[in-house]
Structure 1
Amino acid sequence: MKLNDFTLGVLLLAGAIAIFLSATQFSAIPGQAYGAATMPKTIALLTFGLGLYMTGRSVAAGARRPAVVIADWARSPASVIGLVVSLALIVFYILFSDLIGFVPTAVFVMAALMLTLRVKPITAILVSIVAAVIVQQAFGRLLLVPLPRNAFLGFLW
């Protein structure tokens, strides 16, 4: 799917406004000149500027192109199935990761997605296991991000 510059610019403007308004709700850090809202607001302002540039350039050029053009690959049933499976797996992770734990849920999600994309089963399972453990170690141990744990596998980390 391709969006013309005007449509994409309008979407960037709307996203920038939403990010900026959301960032205004972040609390300030006492005694600091900047706080949690500094980076989101900066990104929002840069995104807003890009959106203005894209819509302005599109209006000045006066080119009349369709707002949305669907690419040929997006019309295939396999692509639609891949999209639906991807979205379903994201919902599955959101709903069940706290109950099952990060590692088993991530292994299932990655393996299911790779199998949907026709990766060999052995490769999909091995890569899923290795990737889930690496991500868990990187985020859980190095970056200290609290990932959902499984009571059975909690002893590993």
Structure 2
Amino acid sequence: MRVNDALFGIALLALAIFVWLHAAGFPKVAGTAYGPAFFPQVLALGLAASAALLIWRGMKQATGGRFLQLETWAREPGRWFGLLLMLSCLVVYALLDEILGFHITGFAITTVFMIYLGVRPWLALVCSLGTVIVIWLLFARLLLVPLPGGVLTPYLW
């Protein structure tokens, strides 16, 4: 599937505007030259510049007014199932992460993806367990990013 760059540019421009406006509402810090909105707004300017380049390039490449062209692989139903599986797992993670916790939710989603991709079930279980443990150690212990414990909260050190 070939999507014109102008469409991605428009989406990126919308994101840049959203980030700029959201950051503009951050509280000002007295006595400082740069407030908490400075860095996000600089990033928003970079996103807007990238969006302008994508829109310009997309308009230059547009032939015959076609902004979306499906390739042969995009016509196979199995490819779309993988996309729907990924999106549904994101929704499930967002809904169950606080309840079940990062460990259980991450383990289940990683296992489902590995089995879908053809990994043997026992190997998928082992690799998923190792992946979740390593990610938890890196984020929760090394970077001190709190990940939801869910039902395992009493057992986490």
TM-score with structure 1 length normalisation?
0.85
Q: What amino acid is the match of 2:127?
A: V
CA contact (8 A) 1:2 1:68 kept: yes
Give 1:131 deviation, angstroms: 0.6
Task: Map Cα deviations across residues 52-73 of structure 1 (whole Å, 9 max, x no partner).
Answer: 23333454x4742511123332
Per-residue displacement from partner, 1:10-37 (whole Å, max 9, x unpaired)? 2222221122112212223443322332
Q: CA RMSD in A?
A: 2.1
CA deviation map 1:72-131 (0-9, x unaligned): 322222211111111111111111111111111110011011112222112211111001
State how far apart, in whole Å, the 1-side matches of 2:41 and 2:34 are: 11
1:19 and 2:28 are equivalent in the alignment: no
Q: Is the 8 A contact 2:4 2:62 kept in 1?
A: no
TM-score normalised by structure 2 residue count:
0.85
Is 1:89 matched with 2:127?
Answer: no
Q: Matched residue of 1:32: which SS?
A: coil
The percent identity for this pair of structures is 33
Aligned to 1:142: 142
Q: Which amino acid aligns with 2:118?
A: R
In structure 2, C-alpha distance between the alignment counterparts of 1:5 and 1:32, rounded to whole Å: 40
Structure 2 unmatched runs, 5+:
none
Structure 1 residues 104 and 63: CA distance shift in structure 2, 3 A: closer
Aligned position for 1:50: 50
| One-letter amino acid matched to 1:126 | V
Taking a change above 3 Å as real, the CA distance of residues 24 and 72 of structure 1, as seen in their structure-2 partners, is farther
Structure 1 unaligned spans of 5+: none
The answer as to 2:3 corresponding to 1:3 is yes
- Asked if the contact 2:149–2:156 (Cα under 8 Å) also holds between the matched residues in 1, the reply is no
Shift in Å at residue 152 of structure 1? 4.0
* Corresponding residue for residue 100 of structure 1: 100
Partners of 1:146 and 1:100 lie apart in 2 by 15
Alignment of 1:54-93 (within 5 A): 54-59=54-59, 61=60, 63-65=62-64, 66-93=66-93
Q: Distance in 2 between matches of 1:22 and 1:92?
A: 27
- Counterparts of 2:131 and 2:58, CA distance in 1: 43
**1:26–1:37 Cα contact (<8 Å) kept:** yes
User: Could you say what secondary structure the match of 2:63 adopts?
Assistant: coil
Task: For 1:151 and 1:141, locate their aligned partners in 2 and report how far apart those are by CA, in whole Å.
Answer: 19
Aligned pair count reads 156
